[in-house]
Amino acid sequence: MELVKSLKQFKLLKYIFLALIGSIILAISSKIKIPFYPVPMTMQTLVVLILGIVFGWKLGLATVSLYLFEGIIGLPVFSGTPEKGLGLVYFTGPTMGYLLGFLVAVYISGKFNYDSNLIKNFLKLLLATSFIYILGMTWLGTLVGWDKPIFQLGAQPFLLAELFKILIITFTVSQIRKIKKLI
């Protein structure tokens, strides 16, 4: 009985450690700015999808939730922080919908099974990513007003970069899934 309790504690510690490492990787990915047209590209959405594939939906949700909590309490983990503010003030700004979309995207990408079918894998990742933009544009429209060109402001400049990231994952998903077996 004591062995079972020790194994459960070890497993819990392992998951806490993985969530912490995942949130750190997600924070680092938010700071990486790659020159891209028409706007620089961060790697956050790529990491969110990979976290879902590698960690699964439960640990993926815990990891992204931890990342969001870190940002809400004032750690400079979000893209644009600390330059554009910190904490709850930054979180509830124009990017809140996108950040909440990370939760849906990691959940969906973690629920799917991936195989060698590139088209199916691409469509699964596209679906997961679309929720980032649906929630992002919904919040943005609510915040700045629906009379503004919300799609042109909140999605269009990023679509080429998102397509690029989804293709990267689509063509490497079999390699990414190997990481899952290691944890």
Determine the pLDDT at residue 152. 94
Computed over every residue of the chain, the mean pLDDT equals 94
Determine the pLDDT at residue 6. 85
- State the CATH number of the domain containing residue 44: 1.10.1760.20
pTM of the model: 0.93
Determine the pLDDT at residue 84. 86
- Number of domains observed in the structure of the chain: 1
**Structural domain range at position 135:** 2-182
Instruction: Spell 67-94 as b/e; 16+ CB within 10 A means b.
Output: bbebbbebbbbbbebeeeebbeebbebb
Residue 149: is its pLDDT beyond 80? Answer: yes
Q: How confident is the model at residue 47 (pLDDT cuts 50, 70, 90)?
A: very high
- Find out whether 101 and 61 touch, Cβ atoms under 8 Å: no
Q: How confident is the model at residue 39 (pLDDT cuts 50, 70, 90)?
A: confident
Q: How confident is the model at residue 85 (pLDDT cuts 50, 70, 90)?
A: confident
- Per residue in 160-178, pLDDT tens? 999 999 999 999 999 999 9
Q: How confident is the model at residue 113 (pLDDT cuts 50, 70, 90)?
A: very high
Higher-scoring residue by pLDDT: 39, 129: 129
β-strand partners of 34 = 41
